Amino acid sequence: MEKDTSNKLFERLKLKMSCECIEWERGSGDMEIKFSVRDILRRGKEISGQNICIFGWVRTRRDSKAGVSFVEVNDGSSVKNLQVILDHGKFGEPGSSEVLSKLHTGASVMVEGVITPSPGKGQEIELVASHVEVYGEADPSTYPLQKKRHSFEFLRQIAHLRPRTNTISAVMRLRSALSLAIHDFFRKRGFYYIHTPIITTSDCEGAGEVFRITTGRDGEEFFGRPTYLTVSGQLQAEIYALALGKVYTFGPAFRAENSNTRRHLAEFWMVEPEVAFYDLNDDIALAKEFITAMIEAMFTECEEELNFFQRFIDENLMDRLNNVLKKGFEIISYTEAIKMLSQHGKELEVAPSWGDDLQSEHEKFLTEVMVRGPVVVIDYPRSLKPFYMRVNDDNNTVAAMDILVPGVGEIVGGSQREERFDVLVEQMRLKGMKLEDYEWYLDLRRYGSVPHAGFGLGLERFIQFLTGVQNIRETIPFPRTPGHALF
């Protein structure tokens, strides 16, 4: 058997990309096809008899008395493994075989062999190995992922290994598909993708939850003025909406809120469309269309993952998602929401009261008990919302909209923006803001101002909704929360 071979292998094999699979062409002329495990299982018996080559990690191994070992190999493309058969006649008996002595859970391997209909239960096909190479072993006495199921709390402590589990890899595949579907949605509708800055001088939400940027060197202010990690790309997106019409930004946002909840991160990703000549109704319509389109996209692109989540994470997942497509979104005003909740005061810990923020318990009650579906809450009290939201004619409320969904609560926050110079100035004064820091924002109202609107959708909360995972920390590759930042 050849030893370490990764380099030799790459010399030998010429990589040729095709959209469905990657073909590896041997220098010698005989062709071997490298499919992902996902492709192989999808093709099933159709590729029976083909010589193929897979690369992945051993999930489990079982030695049978019938003279073969069963090795489950996963390459991160599927929740399912490919069963590999190693004949002891060829590879040696478990006690003495060099290959088998290395094939423990976690080891990385290349397996070449022939796809064969499987006589066993549980899989249509299997790979009968002709050649196995072990790239890296995983000592069974120390490799942490031995058990089938570990708690999410435990997995967070080994965030460098947790993507090798079924749940985290499935979530991350869905996250990848969702991110691309988001770009696709906006591209098809004529939006321009604007890269808004990570380093900013403004606190968009005005909540004082910003991380200050410093070099740490004594007395140095690198940019000549205080700067922060962005809490939202909205203000900069507005600049571009008022020039390019329809734009969106999609990137990380940072919030120094000290909330250790299952739906808060200090670093999260937000999608923020911003559209000139849109009012609140247009904004709501766009958000509804967007959420619906993303659910549909996940049904087609992540069917396997959704079935897995339904089975192992949340048995109501499909019903909940289908319900959104069937029932749609109910729109109610904040004032109505407070009235509705007040009728159930006894069932709530915190009594709802006009002028107070909706507690997560209130959001839950509205979406899960009263409406049983997504709710768009509009027209919040002026005092509760940031300076940029358009003041309604009643002078007490603003043209805001939050979208609440069962299981998660608020996933979208948006509004029509205040386009009237005088009203905006008054709003900023009331909120105690320094006007001189926002001259550029006021200029957008001085010169060619237009009604406009937008929203922000939190990617991770949306993934919670789409997968059913309880804690937001399982929806992002590297969660950052108060007291926790790995790597």
Residues that bind ligand 4AD (CB under 6 A): 204-205, 232, 234, 255, 257, 264-265, 268, 270, 272, 410-414, 454-456, 458, 460-461
Residue 227 or 236 with smaller CB distance to ligand 4AD: 236
According to DSSP H, which parts of 212-279 are helical? 234-244
For helices 303-312 and 317-327, angle between their N-to-C axes, nearest 10 degrees: 120
Q: How far is the CB of 132 from ligand 4AD (least distance, A)?
A: 44
Beta bridge partners of residue 413, listed in sequence order:
402, 456
- Region of 4-12, 81-89, 321-329, 412-420 interacting with Mg ion (CB under 5 A): 412-420
Q: How far is the CB of 415 from ligand 4AD (least distance, A)?
A: 6
Q: How far is the CB of 344 from ligand 4AD (least distance, A)?
A: 24
Rg (CA), the chain: 27
Q: How far is the CB of 369 from ligand 4AD (least distance, A)?
A: 21
Q: Which of 413, 414, 451, 458 binds Mg ion (CB under 5 A)?
A: 413
Residue 133 or 272 with smaller CB distance to ligand 4AD: 272
- Region of 207-215, 384-392, 408-416, 461-469 interacting with Mg ion (CB under 5 A): 408-416
Note whether 57 and 108 are within 8 A (CB).
Answer: yes
Note whether 456 and 238 are within 8 A (CB).
Answer: no
CA distance 223 to 198: 14
23 touches which of Mg ion, ligand 4AD, none (CB within 5 to 8 A by kind)?
Answer: none
456 touches which of Mg ion, ligand 4AD, none (CB within 5 to 8 A by kind)?
Answer: ligand 4AD
Residue with the two structure tokens 């571009």: 240
451 touches which of ligand 4AD, Mg ion, none (CB within 5 to 8 A by kind)?
Answer: none
Residue 362 or 461 with smaller CB distance to ligand 4AD: 461
Residue 100 or 291 with smaller CB distance to ligand 4AD: 291
Residue 91 or 388 with smaller CB distance to ligand 4AD: 388
Residue with the two structure tokens 């599927």: 78
Residue 280 or 317 with smaller CB distance to ligand 4AD: 280
Q: How far is the CB of 266 from ligand 4AD (least distance, A)?
A: 7
CA distance 319 to 403: 19
Residue 52 or 229 with smaller CB distance to ligand 4AD: 229
Element spanning 184, H or E = helix 166-188
Instruction: Provide the residue type at 344 as one letter.
Output: H
Q: Is 386 in the site for Mg ion (CB under 5 A)?
A: no
Q: Which are the contacts of 245, defined by CB distance < 8 A and separation ≥ 6?
A: 275, 276, 277
Residue 180 or 207 with smaller CB distance to ligand 4AD: 207
371 touches which of ligand 4AD, Mg ion, none (CB within 5 to 8 A by kind)?
Answer: none
411 touches which of ligand 4AD, Mg ion, none (CB within 5 to 8 A by kind)?
Answer: ligand 4AD
Note whether 92 and 98 are within 8 A (CB).
Answer: yes
Q: Which are the contacts of 456, defined by CB distance < 8 A and separation ≥ 6?
A: 232, 234, 270, 271, 272, 412, 413, 414
Q: How far is the CB of 402 from Mg ion (least distance, A)?
A: 6
385 touches which of ligand 4AD, Mg ion, none (CB within 5 to 8 A by kind)?
Answer: none
Note whether 241 and 234 are within 8 A (CB).
Answer: no
173 touches which of ligand 4AD, Mg ion, none (CB within 5 to 8 A by kind)?
Answer: none
Residue 36 or 427 with smaller CB distance to Mg ion: 427
The first and second tokens of residue 280, run together, are: 């609140």
Strands 51-63 and 13-17: unpaired
Q: How far is the CB of 463 from ligand 4AD (least distance, A)?
A: 10
C-alpha distances (whole Å) from 84 to each of 41, 117, 132, 146, 169 are 13, 12, 10, 19, 21
> 23-32 contacts: CB < 8 A, separation 24 or more?
24/53, 32/112
CA 84-90-92 angle, to 5 degrees, is: 95
Residue 118 or 471 with smaller CB distance to ligand 4AD: 471
The first and second tokens of residue 466, run together, are: 């789409």
Q: How far is the CB of 324 from ligand 4AD (least distance, A)?
A: 16
- Region of 24-32, 54-62, 276-284, 406-414 interacting with Mg ion (CB under 5 A): 406-414
454 touches which of ligand 4AD, Mg ion, none (CB within 5 to 8 A by kind)?
Answer: ligand 4AD
382 touches which of ligand 4AD, Mg ion, none (CB within 5 to 8 A by kind)?
Answer: none
CA distance 146 to 365: 40
Note whether 71 and 107 are within 8 A (CB).
Answer: no
CA distance 180 to 182: 5
What are φ and ψ of residue 252, in 5° steps?
A: -75, 150
Residue 76 or 245 with smaller CB distance to ligand 4AD: 245
Q: Which residues bind Mg ion (CB under 5 A)?
A: 413
